[in-house]
A and B are shown apart, each in its own frame.
Chain A
Amino acid sequence: MIYQIPFIAVAGLILIGLYAVIFKRNLIKIVIGITLIESGVNLFLITLGYRQGSLAPIFTGNPNVDKAMSLPVPQALTLTSIVIGVAVLALMLSLIIHIYRHYGTLDVKKLAKKEADEE
């Protein structure tokens, strides 16, 4: 049962992140929701590489070690995904600063109304 906890955590993170994106009205809370979804997917990627009773996948030159190593490929995929997530987060936050300067509000419904009235 204890080996299933990361997968339950992944499902919980993704569901909470989706809840924050769909039902919250502040733009920054939507961005936080996206970050939560991304953390969930990264956690899922790392958890896939674990084998029971394994070491970190680093060659240390010790000739007596006979145990298995966990897979290194998902760790490389996760690093790439984290970097992409950082870039997207920076872009989203700078766009929010511009939006606030133009419209003066961060509420999604009021933004939609102001954008439709701008004609």
Chain B
Amino acid sequence: MITWESFLGSFDTGSGIWNPLVWVLSIIFILLIVYSIRRYGKTGYKEKTDQTQSFLSGNPEYEKEQMHIKASNMYWGFTESLKFVYKILDRMHTGNVSDYVLWFVIVLGCIFVLIGVI
């Protein structure tokens, strides 16, 4: 059956011990400290006045749709610098169903050479 010790036990991998309950309790404790520090300095703040408008160094504020960064543009640096890899991957992922079966036959052939011959 399920014993109380194994219920509270530590997570013992081959080279270390890790206990998730201790981690959660310490995170909650640290969050309480952060919250109390934040409450310490929260005076003189009025909602719904000019204090809450966003300041863009005097520039006009655009529409909400244009201000939000779209998902395709987010990792532009990563995809642009690895363009040679993505060119090969795009050529691999066509929409053809015949190409899917061709990849299956290629892998079948490679594994057959490895197991059957060696």
Contacts and interface: CB of A to CB of B under 8 A. Distances in A.
B101 A23 contact: no
A107 to B, nearest CB: 10
Contact of B98 (A25, A113, A115, A116): A25
A109 interface: yes
B57 interface: no
Interface string B89-115: 000001111100110010000000000
Contacts of A21: 98, 101
20 contacts: A18-B101, A18-B105, A21-B98, A21-B101, A22-B98, A22-B101, A22-B105, A23-B98, A24-B98, A25-B98, A30-B97, A30-B98, A108-B98, A109-B96, A111-B95, A112-B94, A112-B96, A113-B95, A115-B95, A116-B95
A25 B98 CA distance: 8
Interface string A83-119: 0000000000000000000000000110111011000
Interface on chain B toward A: helix, strand, loop, or mixed SS? helix
A interface secondary structure, majority: helix
Contacts of B98: 21-25, 30, 108
Given A30-B98, A115-B95, 18 more contacts: A18-B101, A18-B105, A21-B98, A22-B101, A22-B102, A22-B105, A23-B98, A24-B98, A25-B98, A30-B97, A108-B96, A108-B97, A108-B98, A112-B94, A112-B95, A112-B96, A113-B95, A116-B95
